[in-house]
């Protein structure tokens, strides 16, 4: 006798670890740049360049790329843009890792602070958090049938599963360009830029994934001309495209995460040869997980009629989709300019970045706690420092509704800033209103004892001899036809037939005739 098995494809995080460290460096202003009189804005991102796993550890090399906008009192433009890089190397302790493992590492920044040491030197400090994990796809072998001549009884249970169909990383390139309106001066140089994505959506189609969304672009630039006027330009560009995805089919469930990787902004001549066209090239790093729901029947128990049958089982977790949910929350706050700074004359640009610091399963939902980092650029009334920036960290708490969720069901939650509106209240304070959207796909891991092997031996005659050839059995609490048949080595169908049962439902005290 042999079990007929079905491979169920599953995925899991086999190992993960987090490392946090402080990065500090002093930067000398390049000779080609003028002196710094005051700092305006700063931003940066982490680039992972090399991941080298070893025994129970991972070495990570990377770069922190940053941009700084500052004022100068020297002749020419009052605003200057400055870019720089700080290399780092960090060891992450990660139990169970070996040199052959494929480890994925992502990096985030916190508390970026830039201070003025003197007019030619800056101090840069920040905290970098590295998240490392090993994801793997594996098969659970589930018994779905029996091949062989032995007379055995087996029962099946129906299960609805969410099997992993596709698990891979890919990249998606976005190339867009926009030409400045006629009323804007030509571009001499870009001083500051910000690129963000919105309304990004993935859909599963036949052998492909479709991608669509919006690119939000802001640039602050120095225009051509003797006075080098400073101008800002902001626009939204829709994009769409296709990712090849072998094995993908319409109706499958995509659970896809993405991060912006390389970003390039270039100034190009328009049809008249003037520097008025802005080209954008973005690379999205995409983690693709596509699941397929299927219904099947798995053998849960076996017993022999003419032979002694014993089973060998092992514990497994079978996954089913619990819920795919989205939710939104509103954040409001006021931000004040630093004491002693020039007043707010006009708002130029605002941007927000969400951080998700804690997720916890609660009754019928997931409690989310984190913060929204808001940066605001504005025009001041000070001719010596006509531009300024301010930032604030606004905490939030929100419960994403997921009925029937438990702690073991927690899925990966993703958050985005859907809307951000900043308005002036007066010359020192602004009002911030933001809408943050969250989405997650929650799976339930069902603990199951899967039959891995069946051992068939001859009947124990002494045990058989102790059982009566015929008996009237009185049904007790918890009894069913299966355990009664298993106890007396009688097929379930025979119990139904002998007792003229129209259903498998039994009542306490009911009498059954059992014929061996």
Helix (H, G, I), strand (E, B) or coil at 414: strand
Residue 232: pLDDT band with limits 50, 70, 90? very high
Burial 330-352 (b: 16+ CB within 10 A, else e): ebebebebeeebbebeeebbbbb
Contact, 293 vs 185, CB < 8 A?
A: no
Higher pLDDT, 470 or 277: 277
Q: Would you state the pLDDT for residue 256? A: 93
pLDDT at 468 over 80: no
Residues 6+ apart with CB under 8 A from 186: 180, 223, 224, 274, 275, 276
pLDDT at 462 over 90: no
Q: Would you state the pLDDT for residue 457? A: 85
Q: Would you state the pLDDT for residue 149? A: 59
Contact, 284 vs 157, CB < 8 A?
A: no
pLDDT at 30 over 80: yes
For residue 75, what are its two tokens? Answer: 């002749």
Q: Give the closest residue to 77 by CA, choosing from 375, 341, 376, 385.
A: 385
Round to whole Å and give the CA distance between 257 and 85: 27
How confident is the model over 129-167, as pLDDT tens digits? Answer: 999 999 999 999 999 988 875 678 889 999 999 999 999
Q: What is the pTM of this model?
A: 0.85
Neighbouring CB atoms inside 10 A of 389's CB total 19
The pLDDT > 70 percentage for the chain reads 98
Q: Would you state the pLDDT for residue 117? A: 96
Residue 234: pLDDT band with limits 50, 70, 90? very high
Q: Would you state the pLDDT for residue 165? A: 93
Round to whole Å and give the CA distance between 180 and 204: 36
Q: Would you state the pLDDT for residue 214? A: 95
For residue 256, what are its two tokens? Answer: 């896809």
Tell me the average pLDDT across 101-121. 93
SS (H, E, C) 101-152: CCCEEEEEEEEEEEEEEECCEEEEEEEEEEEEEEEEEEEEEEEEEEECCCCE
Please state, rounded to an integer, the average pLDDT across all residues of the chain: 91
**H helices of 374-468, where?**
461-465
Q: Would you state the pLDDT for residue 328? A: 95
For residue 24, what are its two tokens? Answer: 């500090």
Round to whole Å and give the CA distance between 121 and 36: 8
Higher pLDDT, 291 or 383: 291
Give the pairing type, strands 104-118 and 387-401. unpaired
Round to whole Å and give the CA distance between 299 and 345: 73
Contact, 164 vs 247, CB < 8 A?
A: no
How confident is the model over 332-380, as pLDDT tens digits? Answer: 999 988 776 778 999 989 999 999 989 999 998 999 999 999 999 998 8
Residue 432: pLDDT band with limits 50, 70, 90? very high
Helix (H, G, I), strand (E, B) or coil at 171: strand
Lowest mean pLDDT among 37-46, 186-195, 260-269, 466-475: 466-475
pLDDT at 488 over 90: no
């Amino acid at each position: 006798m042999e079990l007929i098995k079905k491979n169920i494809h599953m995925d899991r995080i086999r190992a993960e670890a987090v490392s946090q460290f402080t990065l500090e460096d002093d930067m000398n202003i390049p000779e080609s740049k003028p002196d710094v009189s005051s700092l305006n804005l700063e931003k940066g991102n982490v680039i992972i360049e090399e991941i080298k796993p070893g025994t129970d550890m991972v070495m990570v090399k990377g770069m922190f790329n940053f941009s700084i906008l500052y004022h100068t009192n020297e002749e020419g433009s009052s605003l200057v843009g400055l870019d720089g890089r700080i290399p780092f190397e960090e060891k992450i302790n990660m139990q169970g890792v070996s040199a052959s493992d494929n480890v994925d590492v992502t990096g985030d920044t916190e508390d970026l602070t830039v201070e003025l040491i003197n007019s030619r030197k800056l101090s840069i400090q920040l905290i970098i958090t590295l998240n490392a994990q090993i994801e793997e796809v594996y098969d659970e072998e589930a018994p779905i049938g029996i091949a062989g001549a032995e007379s055995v009884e087996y029962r099946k249970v129906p299960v609805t599963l969410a099997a992993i169909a596709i698990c891979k990383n890919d990249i998606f390139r976005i190339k867009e360009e926009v030409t400045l309106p006629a009323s804007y001066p030509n571009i001499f140089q870009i001083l500051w830029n910000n690129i963000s994505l919105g309304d990004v959506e993935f859909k599963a189609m036949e052998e492909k994934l479709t991608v669509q969304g919006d690119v939000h672009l802001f640039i602050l630039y120095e225009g051509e001309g003797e006075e080098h006027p400073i101008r800002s330009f902001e626009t939204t560009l829709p994009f769409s495209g296709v990712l090849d995805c072998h094995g993908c089919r319409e109706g499958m469930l995509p659970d896809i995460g993405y991060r912006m990787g390389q970003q390039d902004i270039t100034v190009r001549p328009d049809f008249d040869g003037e520097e008025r066209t802005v080209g954008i090239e973005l690379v999205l790093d995409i983690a693709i997980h596509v699941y397929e729901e299927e219904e099947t029947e798995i053998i849960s128990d076996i017993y022999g009629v003419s032979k002694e049958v014993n089973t060998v089982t092992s514990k497994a977790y079978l996954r089913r989709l619990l819920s795919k949910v989205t939710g939104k929350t509103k954040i409001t706050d006021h931000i004040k300019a630093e004491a002693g700074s020039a007043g707010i004359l006009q708002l130029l640009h605002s941007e927000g970045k969400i951080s998700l610091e804690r997720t916890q399963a609660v009754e019928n939902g997931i409690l989310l706690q984190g913060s929204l980092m808001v940066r605001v650029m504005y025009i001041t009334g000070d001719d010596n420092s006509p531009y300024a920036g301010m930032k604030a960290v606004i905490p939030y708490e929100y419960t994403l509704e997921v009925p029937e969720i438990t702690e073991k069901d927690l899925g990966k939650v993703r958050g985005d800033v859907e809307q951000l509106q900043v308005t002036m209240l007066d010359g020192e304070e602004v009002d911030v209103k933001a809408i943050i959207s969250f989405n997650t796909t929650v799976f339930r891991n069902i603990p199951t004892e899967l039959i891995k092997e069946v051992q068939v031996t001859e009947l124990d005659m002494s045990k058989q001899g102790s059982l009566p050839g015929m008996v009237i059995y009185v049904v007790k609490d918890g009894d069913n036809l299966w355990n009664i048949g298993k106890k007396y080595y009688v097929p379930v169908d025979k119990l139904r037939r002998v007792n003229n049962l129209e259903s498998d439902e039994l009542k306490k005290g009911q009498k059954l005739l059992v014929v061996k």
